[in-house]
Copies of this chain bind each other. A is one copy, B any other.
Amino acid sequence: MDGAGGPRVTAAMVAERAGTSVSTVSLVVNGKSRGRVSPAITERVRTAVHELGYVVDHAASSLARGRTDLVVLLAPDLPNPYFGRVTTGIREALGDRHQLMLSVIASGTQPGADDVRRVAAFRPAGLLVHAPSPTFLDELDPGGPPLVLLDAPGFEDRAATVTFDLRPGVRALVGHLAAAGHRTIAYLDGATPSATFAVRRAWLREIAATHGITVLGAGDDPDRPPAATGHARDGSAGSDRARDGSTRSARTPDHSTRPDRAPDDSARSARTPDGSTRSDRTPDGSAGPVRAGLSLDAAADTAVGAIPGWLDAGATAVVAAADTLAYGVLAAAHRLGLDVPGDLAVAGFDDLPYSQVTAPPLTSVALPAEELGRAAAHRLTALLTGTDTPGPAPLASRLAVRASTAPP
């Protein structure tokens, strides 16, 4: 009960028992004995290791080696089931070569300088950061470990990044809504200032515009940090202007694989409206962004307040930045006595499994979470072994059509 944990077994104890030296023990337990240690001694060491229950001390080992097998994942939003799926993919692709350490950040918070510090103390072999905010990246120690960002559109120039190509899904969603006769739709954004949310909003507005659809609450992002570093604009879906003005040298070689540069993309749609400098920090009526915490309950509360205004402004549909937010909209609609999709259509992003069984089943832009995790892990191991390639093509999104957006 006193935390002692008993006398720890050391290599010296194993060596003594096997009648050999610690050097030899080290060789054997690290699988480097082939041709360096006689089979007889190797066997004796193995036996002693088993009998004593010896485990190589991680701290001592990494101190001596000068490196770690640790991959740290900065986890900003553990309670979101989406995140769990990403982690599953990472774990799967990382295999046994690396120990995955999940650094849990307080829920609803973004990773701060302190979190980065604490993580740095572990000298991780690599760092994985999911849906980072622009400011988080600026806090990173420039001499830090190899880094892969997940779902961080617009940061391709700053670090190795694995992203989604949101356009197929958003196009399908907008086309679907347009066909159902919607002309004004509202957008419920996530309260987290992550780049991925900014891009979801930007693409939706952009593509909706080509259909003559107005999107309430999808104006410029007032939380985007000022363009001081020249990266701020990259936080959006990316504009040619911002990229051309960049002084970054470590670019992703293959620009054509980036979601905003795909061959089938017209010049117009490649430029997102976020390139504009207009500030709407002063809410311009019903067009101001509405943000909600990522939990169902928080989103429901926010939506209950926002829906009446949206309806007054003529909205017939709501798109939420994440499925968990969309669930909140469903709950809010219920509380307000509104029929979905009769009075209000609802759609989300992510396509969580639970969206199959909501009332009504939720239309959602499906984002392949586990694939994202796998791709990021592969990218990181490539980085660590020096075999990194330009970066995989962005992972395609698609639309899962369900009853929540059925024509009234």
Give complex CA distance A68, B106 in Å.
Answer: 21
In the complex, the answer to whether B58 meets A121 with C-beta atoms within 8 Å is yes
Cβ-defined partner of A78 (8 Å) among B53, B56, B88: B88
Question: Taking the nearest CB of chain B, how far is it from the CB of A294, in angstroms?
Answer: 11
**Chain B residues whose C-beta falls within 8 Å of the C-beta of A53 in the assembled complex:** 141, 143
- Name the interface residues of A97-125: CB closer than 8 Å to any CB of B: 99-104, 106-107, 117-118, 120-123, 125
- Which chain B positions have C-beta within 8 A of A264? none
A343 located at the interface, meaning its Cβ lies under 8 Å from any Cβ of chain B in the complex: no
Q: Is A3 within 8 A of B107, CB to CB?
A: no
Contact mask for chain A residues 259-286; partner B; CB cutoff 8 A; 1 contact, 0 none: 0000000000000000000000000000
Binds B, one of A19-27, A150-158, A308-316, A358-366: A358-366
From A358, which residue of chain B is reached at the shortest CB distance? B357
CB-based nearest B residue for A141: B53
Instruction: Judge if A81 is at the interface, Cβ distance under 8 Å.
Output: yes
Residues in chain B near residue A33, CB distance under 8 A: none
Question: Which B residue's beta carbon lies closest to that of A385?
Answer: B3
Interface string of A62-97 (1 = CB under 8 A from B): 110000100000010011110111011001100000
**CB nearest to A334 among chain B residues:** B357
Kindly state the separation between the CA atoms of A179 and B3 in the bound complex, as whole angstroms.
50
Pick the residue among B5, B81, B102, B359 that contacts A360 (CB under 8 A): B359
- Answer whether A63 and B59 are a contact pair too, CB < 8 Å, given A5-B143, A145-B5: yes
Which listed residue (B84, B103, B126, B331) contacts A83, Cβ 8 A? Answer: B84
How many copies of this chain sit in the oligomeric assembly?
2
- Distance (whole angstroms) from the CB of A232 to the closest CB of chain B: 24
Q: For A388, what are the chain B residues with a Cβ–Cβ distance below 8 Å? A: 1
Taken together as a complex, chains A and B put the C-alpha atoms of A345 and B83 apart, in Å, by 31
**Is A240 engaged at the interface, CB distance under 8 Å to the other chain?**
no
Contact of A101 among B57, B102, B141, B354 (CB under 8 A): B102
Q: Which residues of B contact A121 (CB under 8 A)?
A: 55-58, 61
Please tell me if A225 contacts chain B, counting CB pairs below 8 Å: no
Q: Does A196 contact B (CB under 8 A)?
A: no
Q: Are A295 and B91 in contact (CB under 8 A)?
A: no
Could you say which of B81, B100, B106, B126 contacts A84, with CB atoms under 8 Å apart?
A: B81
Which B residues are in CB contact (< 8 Å) with A360?
359
Pick from A5, A122, A331 the residue with the most CB of B within 10 Å. Answer: A5
Name the B residues within 8 Å of A91 (CB-CB).
104, 106-107
Contacts of A92 in B (CB 8 A): 106
Inter-chain contact A85/B79, CB cutoff 8 Å = yes
Does A2 sit within 8 A of B, measured CB to CB?
yes
Residues on B with C-beta less than 8 A from A59 are 58-60, 62-63, 68, 122-123
Residues of A within 8 A of B (CB): 1-3, 5-8, 53, 55-63, 68, 75, 78-81, 83-85, 87-88, 91-92, 99-104, 106-107, 117-118, 120-123, 125-126, 141-146, 250, 295-297, 327, 330-331, 334, 353-354, 356-361, 383-384, 386, 388
Q: List 9 A–B pairs whose Cβ atoms lie within 8 Å, in order of A's numbering.
A: A1-B146, A3-B146, A3-B386, A56-B121, A59-B60, A79-B84, A92-B106, A99-B118, A357-B358
